[in-house]
Amino acid sequence: MGRKPQKNDSLPGSLDMLILRTLSLRDLHGYGIVQFIQQSSANELLVEEGSLYPALQRLELNGWIEGVWGVTPNNRRARIYTITAAGREQLSVETRQYAKLTLAIARVMGTE
Amino acid sequence: MLRRLQYWLQRDKRSRALQEEMDLHLTEKAEELEAGGMPPERARLEARRQFGSVARKHEESREVWLTRFLSELAQDIRYGARSMAANKTFSALAVLSLALGIGANTAIYSFMEAILLRSLPVADPESLVVFNWQSPPPHNANKEWVHVMHGISGLAWPGAKGIMVSGMFPHAAFERMRDDNPVFSTVFGYYNGRRRTVSVNGQALLANAEYVTGGYFRGLAVSPAAGRLVEPADDHPSAPPVAVISFSASQQRFGGPAAAIGQPILVDNIPFTVIGVTPPAFFGVDPAIVPEIYLPLQTILQIEGPSVARDFTNQNHYWIEMMGRLRPGVTMAQAQAALAPRFHQWVEATASTDGERAKLPALVLNPGAAGLGGLRREYAKPIAVLLAMVGLILAITCANVANLLLARASVRRREIAVRLSLGAGRFRVVRQLLTESVLLASLGGAFGVLFAVWSMRTLTFLFSRGQENFTLHAGLNGNVLALTAALSVLCGVLFGLVPALQATGPDVMPALKNGRGGGTRHRTQQILVVAQIAMSFLILFAAGLFVRTLNQLHSVQLGYARENILLFTMNARQAGHRDPEIVTFYMNLRKRFEELPGVQSASFSHATLIASPRAGGILRGPIKAGPLAVDGARVLPSGPRYLSTMQIPLLAGREIDGRDQPNSPPVAVISERLARTYFGAENPIGRRISFPEEKRDFEIIGVSADLRNGSVKDEGAMSIFVPLSQVTPGGVTYALRSVGDPLRFANSVRELVRQADAAIPVTNIITQATEIDRSINREILFANLCTGFAILALLTACVGLYGVMSYSVTRQMAEIGIRMALGAQRRVVIWMVLRRVLLLAAAGLAVSVPVALMASRLVKSFLFGTQPNDPGTLALAGAILLGAAILAGYAPARRAARMDPLTALRQE
C-alpha cells in the first residue's frame, strides 16, 4: 500500500525506516529529523523535504510514532515526535528486512 | 480504523497543525541558509524550492488519513462483487430472501410512519394542541345514561379503567375556550361534514367536507395556493356563503387553483362561492379524512337544516372538535393548568342533576403535531403486530443467510487460511468478509425497496378494501429509505459477523491441511436452525390463530341474507328534496327497482345492517321500553318489507310495509332478544318503545329473529326497526335481492336514479357479502398476510434445515458408509438422519411454545371465537412445522441411504 518511490531516496520506501531510526535515538520535530538524517549520512542522503510530512502522518496513523506540541531548541512551537513501542518493533522488522535485502543485492553484485 | 475515523473527524484541527509544522520547517530552513550566507529573500525561495509543492505535500499528508481506508474498501467491494458473481445461485437466493425480508419491513414501516409518526404539514406543528376531555363511565348502576353530555355527534372512546374519552365539545364550550384564554394565540374548531353533494356546472359529485371556524387556517398557519382562506368574518350568520377547496379538487373540478377562484358551486343545492384553494400538501387535521371542501362553521345551519340548529346551541350536545396553537414560550402543561379550571367552571353550569355533576368531564390537552388520533388508535396495535411479524421474518432471513454463509465458508476456508497465514490481519479479513455480507444485504435492500413499493400498493388496497374515501398516504420518503438503508447494513453485519469471526478463528491451521473440520461451525449452524424453527413456529401459530378467527367469523349465523344482495347509497335531501316529498321519492324509486327483471325484492334503510348505528343517528337520546331503559339496541329506520328483502325471519306480528305512512300511527319491529330482555314472557306486541328526548313513541307491531347487525362479532345485538317514512330521513341505503350476481344491476340502478333525479349521485355500490367482509377487514387482512408470512418463514427455515442436514450428512459420510458396510438397512440410515431433524425441530418447538403462549395474549383483542392459547391451533401449527421439517430433512436422508458404502469410505 501507498508508499510512493521517493526520488531522492537511495532506496524506495526507506524514508519510513530512516525516520524511525532517527526517532529511536532522540525525540525531534520535522526539520530536526531532516537535519539529523543529512548530518548523520554525511550529507549523502538528501531527503525530499516535502515528503517528510506525509510520511510522518502515515507513521503516526499506524501508531509507530507520536507527535506532541513542544518547543524546539530554538524556542519555537513545534510538534515533537517520539517513537512508540510498536514503532521500535517495526523498526527492528524493517532493519532486518533491510539487512537481508542489502545482503542479497551485495551478493548479486559480487561486492560481498 | 477508529483512529482513522478520529483523525478524519479532527481533520480541520490536524490540517492547521500540519500547516504550522510545514511553515516552521520552511522558516528554519531559510534561517539555516541565511546563516550560510545567503540573502534572506533568496534563502526563502531556496527553502521552498527544496521542499517541493507545499500544497501538494499538505494534500498528500491529509490523504494518508483516509485514502487507505477508502481504497481498501473499494478493493473489498470489488472482491466481494467478484465472489458474489462466482456463486450466482447462493447470491441470488440470499439477495432474494433479503429483498423479501427488508421489503416487507420497509412496507410495514412506511405505514407506521404515515399513521403514527408523521407530523401535520403545517408550520411549527409542535405548538399545536388537541382538546380532549375524559370523565367516569356515563352509565349508572341501572345502565341508564347519566352524563352532562346528552348527545354526541362524533366519537367517544373508552380509555383506561372504563373512563370515557372524547374530543367533541358543545359549541358554547368552544366559544368559552376561544375567548377566555391567556395561553393560546388561536383556538379553532372544526366539524366533520362527511360527504356532501358538490355540483360544479351542473355536474354533481360527492366530496368530503369540513366545517371550520374562522380561526382554523390562521391557527394552523396555512397559506393559500390561490385566493384567500376562511377568516373569522366569514364564519358569521350574515356573511355571504364562501368555500375553500383543496388543491386536488381545484385541479379535478376547475382545471387549476387560479381558475377556481370566484366560481359559483352548489353544496347540497345551496350556492357558495369559491374564495381560495389550500396548498397541495395540506390534508386537514385528521390523516384519516382528507377534506375536499372547507366551509365556515356557521353554514352548517343552512346545509344541514333545523335538526342541527338545535344541536348548535345545545350546551349538552357535544359535536365540535378543537385545537389550539400555544403562544410562544407556553408549555402544554401550563396551558392545561390555565384552561382546566375554566372548562370545569363552564361544564359545571351545564349539569342539571347531582348525578351529572358527580362525573363532569375534565379537560385534557394532548399534543397536536400529528393531528387527530383516530387512525392511530385504530391502527397502532395492528401495525405493531405486523411490524413484529416482519421483524421475525427478517431475523429468520438473516439466520438463514448466515447459515448459507457458514456452509460456504467451508469452501472458502482454505482461501481465508491462506490469506491469514500470509500475514493479513484477522481484523482485515473480517472486515473484508463483512464488506461482502453488507454488499449482499445492500443489494437485498435495493430490491427490497422495489418489493416494498409493490407491497405498499397491495397493503393500501387491503387496508382500504374498497372504501371510497380511504386516504392513507403511505409512501417512500427520506425517513423510510433511511430505515431501509440502516436495516440493510445492520442485516449485513448481523448475518456476516458470526461466519466471519468463525472463518478467521484461531483454528485455521487444520483447514489448510484438509479443508474439513469446523465442529464449532456445525454447532453454530444448528443453533441458527433451531432459532429459525422457533421463530417460524411463532409466525405459524399466529397465522393459525388469525385464520381460525376468520373462519369463526365466516361461520357466524348472521340472521340475514349475505349473498345476492346489492347495496347502494344516495341522498335526495342533499339534492334539494324535502319533507314530505322526499319519502315519496324514495318509495317510488323502491317500486322501480323492484320492477327490474331479476330483482326479487327491494327496500331501503337509513344505513346498511352492518353499519347500523347504536342509539344516535336519526333518533337520538335514551330508549325506553315501558319504564325500562334499553341499553345497546341498534335503531334502524327502514322501508317497507325490509325484513323480507334481507330474509330476516319474522317470529310474531307483521313487518313494516306500505301501510306505514308518515301520518299513520308510529310503529316498530323489535328483535327477539330485545323482546325477551325487556318484556320477558309477555307478548310485546302492542307495547311501546319510546324516545323521550325526541318525544317519539312507537307501537311494537312485530318481533324478528335475532340478527347480528352493527357488527358480526356482536353476539348480544338487539335491534329496533322503525319506518323510515316516520322519521326525518336524510340519505338512504337501498338493498336489492336478486337472482344471481347482484352487481349486474349496478348500471340499471344508476340509470333509474338518473331518470328520477340527475342531481343525485349513487355511491357505495357494493354487494352485501363485500360489505360484511369489509367490516371484518382487519381479520381478513391479518389472516391473509400472516398466512403469507408463515409460508415464507417456513420455507426459509426449511432451506436452512436442508442446508444443515446436507452438510451434516456429508460430514458423516464415513460413519454412514461403515454402518452400511456392516449391514445397516437403508431405513435405519434414513431414520438416523431424520431423528436429528426431529431433534432440531423439537428443540425449536421447546423454545418457541412457551414464548408463543405468552406472546399470543398480546393479540387477544384481535381474536374471535378462539382463545389465545387454543390447543387445536397449537397442535396444528406444531404438526405443520414437523411435517415441513421432515420434508426438508428427507432429501439429505435419502441421499445418505442411497450412498454406495465403498465410495463413501474411499472419499475419507
pLDDT at position B733: 93
Q: What is the pLDDT of residues B578-601, one digit of tens each?
A: 888 999 999 999 999 999 999 999
| CB-CB under 8 Å, B28 with A61 | no
What is the SS3 assignment for B657? Answer: coil
Ramachandran quadrant class, B710 (left: phi over 0; alpha: psi -120 to 50; beta: rest): left
| CB-CB under 8 Å, B61 with A53 | yes
Q: What is the pLDDT of residues B863-892, one digit of tens each?
A: 888 888 899 999 999 999 999 999 988 888
Q: Taking CB atoms and an 8 Å cutoff, what residues of chain B touch A78?
A: 21, 24
User: Band of the pLDDT at B39, cuts 50, 70, 90?
Assistant: confident
Tell me the ipTM for this assembly.
0.78
pLDDT at position B347: 92
Size of interface A-B (CB pairs under 8 A): 72
pLDDT at position B696: 87
pLDDT at position A12: 53
What whole-number distance in Å separates Cα of residue B116 and Cα of residue B374? 11
Q: Burial of B330 by CB count in 10 Å (0-12 exposed, 13-18 middle, 19+ buried)?
A: middle
User: Band of the pLDDT at B114, cuts 50, 70, 90?
Assistant: confident
Q: What is the pLDDT of residues B518-564, one digit of tens each?
A: 566 678 888 888 999 999 999 999 999 999 999 999 888 899 999 99
* pLDDT mean over B623-652: 89
Q: What is the pLDDT of residues B804-849, one digit of tens each?
A: 888 788 777 778 888 888 888 888 888 888 898 999 999 999 999 9
Q: Taking CB atoms and an 8 Å cutoff, what residues of chain A touch B18?
A: 53, 57
* pLDDT mean over B435-447: 89
pLDDT at position B613: 65
Spatial contact of B213 and B169, defined as CB atoms under 8 Å apart:
no
* pLDDT mean over B116-140: 84
| CB-CB under 8 Å, B24 with A31 | yes
pLDDT higher than threshold 90 for residue B650: yes
What whole-number distance in Å separates Cα of residue B689 and Cα of residue B696? 9
* pLDDT mean over B41-47: 84
| CB-CB under 8 Å, A57 with B61 | yes
Spatial contact of B464 and B397, defined as CB atoms under 8 Å apart:
no
Q: Kindly report the nearest CA distance between residue A111 and chain B, in angstroms.
A: 32
User: How far is residue B604 CA from its own chain's centroid?
Assistant: 33
Q: Which residue, among B239, B249, B233, has the nearest Cα to B284 in the 3D structure?
A: B249
**Residue of chain A whose alpha carbon sits nearest to that of B53:** A50
Q: What is the pLDDT of residues B6-35, one digit of tens each?
A: 766 676 777 788 888 888 888 888 888 888
| CB-CB under 8 Å, A54 with B68 | no
Mean pLDDT of chain B: 85
pLDDT at position B211: 94
| CB-CB under 8 Å, A63 with B50 | no
pLDDT at position B471: 58
Spatial contact of B549 and B772, defined as CB atoms under 8 Å apart:
no
User: Band of the pLDDT at B480, cuts 50, 70, 90?
Assistant: confident
What whole-number distance in Å separates Cα of residue B494 and Cα of residue B483? 16
Residue from the list A58, A74, A78 with its beta carbon closest to the beta carbon of B64: A58
| CB-CB under 8 Å, B24 with A78 | yes
Residue from the list A53, A58, A74 with its beta carbon closest to the beta carbon of B21: A53
**Residue of chain A whose alpha carbon sits nearest to that of B64:** A58
CB contacts under 8 A, B 15-44 vs A, are 17-18, 20-22, 24-25, 27-29, 32
Written as one letter, the residue type at B617 is G
Q: Taking CB atoms and an 8 Å cutoff, what residues of chain B touch A38?
A: none
C-beta neighbour count of B788 within 10 angstroms = 16
| CB-CB under 8 Å, A57 with B24 | no
What whole-number distance in Å separates Cα of residue B244 and Cα of residue B743? 36
Kindly report which listed range (A10-14, B121-125, B311-315, B690-694) carries the lowest average pLDDT score. Answer: A10-14
* pLDDT mean over B262-291: 87
Full DSSP string of A47-110 = --GGGHHHHHHHHHHTTSEEEEEEE-TTS-EEEEEEE-HHHHHHHHHHHHHHHHHHHHHHHHHT
| CB-CB under 8 Å, B51 with A50 | yes
pLDDT at position B145: 79
Rg (C-alpha) for chain A, rounded Å, is 15
Residue from the list A49, A57, A79 with its beta carbon closest to the beta carbon of B51: A49
User: What CA dihedral angle connects B877, B879, B882 and B885, to 10 degrees?
Assistant: -70
Q: Which residue, among B796, B790, B895, B801, has the nearest Cα to B841 in the 3D structure?
A: B801
Q: Taking CB atoms and an 8 Å cutoff, what residues of chain B touch A5?
A: none
What whole-number distance in Å separates Cα of residue A17 and Cα of residue A93? 10
Residue from the list A1, A53, A61 with its beta carbon closest to the beta carbon of B18: A53
| CB-CB under 8 Å, B24 with A29 | yes
Q: Kindly report the nearest CA distance between residue B439 and chain A, in angstroms.
A: 24
| CB-CB under 8 Å, A50 with B56 | yes
Q: Which of B61, B75, B427, B428 to mutate to test the interface with A (most CBs of A within 10 A)?
A: B61
Residue from the list A54, A74, A79 with its beta carbon closest to the beta carbon of B61: A54
Half-sphere exposure (Cβ direction) of B264: Cα atoms closer than 13 Å: 6
Q: Which residue, among B392, B390, B397, has the nearest Cα to B796 in the 3D structure?
A: B397
Spatial contact of B376 and B113, defined as CB atoms under 8 Å apart:
no
Q: Taking CB atoms and an 8 Å cutoff, what residues of chain A touch B28?
A: 31, 72, 74, 76
What is the SS3 assignment for B410? Answer: helix
Residue listed under C-alpha cell 426438508: B888
**Residue of chain A whose alpha carbon sits nearest to that of B26:** A31
Full DSSP string of B302-370 = HHH-HHHHHHHH-TTEE-EEEEEEEPTT--HHHHHHHHHHHHHHHHHTT--SHHHHHT--EEEEEE-TT
Asked if residue B291 has a cis previous peptide bond (ω within 30° of 0), the answer is: no
| CB-CB under 8 Å, B29 with A54 | no
**Residue of chain A whose alpha carbon sits nearest to that of B3:** A61
Q: Burial of B721 by CB count in 10 Å (0-12 exposed, 13-18 middle, 19+ buried)?
A: buried
pLDDT higher than threshold 60 for residue B515: no
